[in-house]
Amino acid sequence: MDWQIMFHINKISLDDLKFTVNLTNTMKWDLVEEDFEYMMKLEPNGCFITFDDEKRIGIATTISFDNLGWLGNVIVSENYRGRGVGSLLVRHALEYLVNKHVETIGLYAYIPKVPFYKKLGFEYDSEFIYLKGTAVSMPIKGCTREAVEEDLGKIIDLDRLCFGASRRKLLKPIFLDTENLCQIAIDDSKVLGFIIAKRYAGVAEVGPLVCQEECKDIAVELLKNILNQLKGYKVSMCIPKKETVILKKLVKWGLRESFPLARMFYGEYFGKNYIYMAESLEKN
Ligand SMILES: CC(C)(COP(=O)(O)OP(=O)(O)OC[C@H]1O[C@@H](n2cnc3c(N)ncnc32)[C@H](O)[C@@H]1OP(=O)(O)O)[C@@H](O)C(=O)NCCC(=O)NCCS
């Protein structure tokens, strides 16, 4: 039987948010209704839900930055898996992004899901490690400082050079939210790197971190500074496996490697030579 003709896809609406949170809770993704509202605000036509008749059965979200898109929150109710719903959602999301003239689409996949995304046209790019732990304070050298509003333009510019597209629509509200933290390292007027952390009640997501490739020490200082400010918070972050020096430091500071992830791309992606940590798994 062709299962897929039984299912239809809509944009996620506010009425769906209880379902989206309950569904993602089954994977312990720690998302709340406000997270989905935020995603819907960032990409109003790009957050999708699948139905079997009236029954909600799966979701996927996207975000587009010029010609670069990102796919996240792909999840199907357990008793509907293996019937093509996930593939249908991903294809629908791809079609939406391609229609918006997005040329390259990225995602972070659990390693066992790599074959699923490969079948849908994504290619493996590189491995990332998701780390968790409690932030502790450490001695710092003082070569970074808290970013101020006048730095925002430069931060967005450096991020664009590293990421490949401007993430202004994502980074500006995060930066302007006074709960969040941002440290910057500047030499003369050149930004060497920056780091952002989003804070919720006792929990913080660290990232993005972007740093000039030759400035490994600065990347370490940025991390130390932000962790100092987050002392006692439960923190998480997602860092390329190839950043072994930084990874070792993070483990030494008490964070533990939680699980690996594969960054994958649909379409061509030209890796940039920067030290980089993801913003979040859904939105990069
Ligand atoms: C990943 C996930 C979204 C896939 O959704 P799904 O609806 O099961 O996906 P599909 O049915 O399209 O494809 C799954 C498998 O069923 C097979 N399949 C597809 N259509 C089918 C059909 N009509 N009948 C039977 N099997 C089918 C696919 O070939 C695929 O096989 P594979 O496991 O060898 O790749 C789902 O497993 C899930 O929600 N997992 C938990 C959350 C998660 O891990 N999300 C991914 C984060 S990276």
- CATH number assigned to the domain comprising residue 249: 3.40.630.30
Query: Does 180 reside within a domain?
Result: yes
Integer Cα distance of 262 and 257 in angstroms: 14
Residue 166 is part of which domain span? 130-260+268-277
Q: Which atom of ligand 1 is nearest to the CA of 58?
A: 39
Q: Which of 63, 85, 102 is the last residue of a domain?
A: 102
Which DSSP letter does residue 182 get? E
Query: Do 181 and 57 share a structural domain?
Result: no
Q: Are residues 188 and 248 in the same domain?
A: yes
Q: Give me ligand 1 centre to Cα 68, in Å.
A: 25
Based on the fold, state whether residues 146 and 252 are members of the same structural domain: yes
Residues 84 and 148 in one domain: no
Same domain, 93 and 136: no
Domain total of the chain:
2
Tell me, yes or no, whether 88 and 139 share the same domain. no
Give the mutation target among 1, 57, 113, 114 for probing the ligand 1 site: most ligand atoms within 8 A of CB.
Answer: 113
Phi, psi of 26 (to 5 degrees): -65, -20
- The structure tokens listed for 242 are 């190839």
Same domain, 272 and 134: yes
**Do 138 and 86 sit in the same domain of this protein?**
no
Residues 152 and 55: their CA atoms lie apart, in Å, by 44
The residue whose CA has the least distance to atom 32 of ligand 1 is 116
- In the reported structure, the alpha carbon of residue 39 is separated from the centroid of ligand 1 by a whole-number distance in angstroms of 24
- On whether the pTM is more than 0.85, the answer is yes
Residues 85 and 148 in one domain: no
How many C-beta atoms lie closer than 10 Å to residue 2's C-beta?
7
User: Of 65, 83, 102, which one is at a domain's C-terminal end?
Assistant: 102
Domain final residue pick, 57, 87, 102: 102
Which residues have C-beta within 8 Å of that of residue 61, sequence separation ≥ 6?
Answer: 12, 36, 39, 43, 46, 47, 48, 71, 72, 73, 93, 282
For residue 123, is it within any domain?
no
**Ligand 1 pocket mutation, candidates 81, 91, 238, 266, criterion most atoms within 8 A of CB:** 81
Between the CA atoms of 18, 22, 23 and 29, what dihedral angle is there, to the nearest 10 degrees? Answer: 120
Tokens of residue 130, six digits: 């998701």
141 with 230, same domain: the answer is yes
273/150 same-domain check: yes
pLDDT tens-digit profile, the chain (284 residues): 555 568 999 999 999 999 999 999 999 998 999 999 999 999 999 999 999 999 999 999 999 999 999 999 999 999 999 999 999 999 999 999 999 999 999 999 999 999 999 999 999 999 999 999 999 998 888 889 999 999 999 999 999 999 999 999 999 999 999 999 999 999 988 999 999 999 988 899 999 999 999 999 999 999 999 999 999 999 999 999 999 999 999 999 999 999 999 999 999 998 788 999 999 887 77
Q: Do 153 and 238 fall within a single domain?
A: yes
Secondary structure of residue 181 in the 3-state scheme: strand
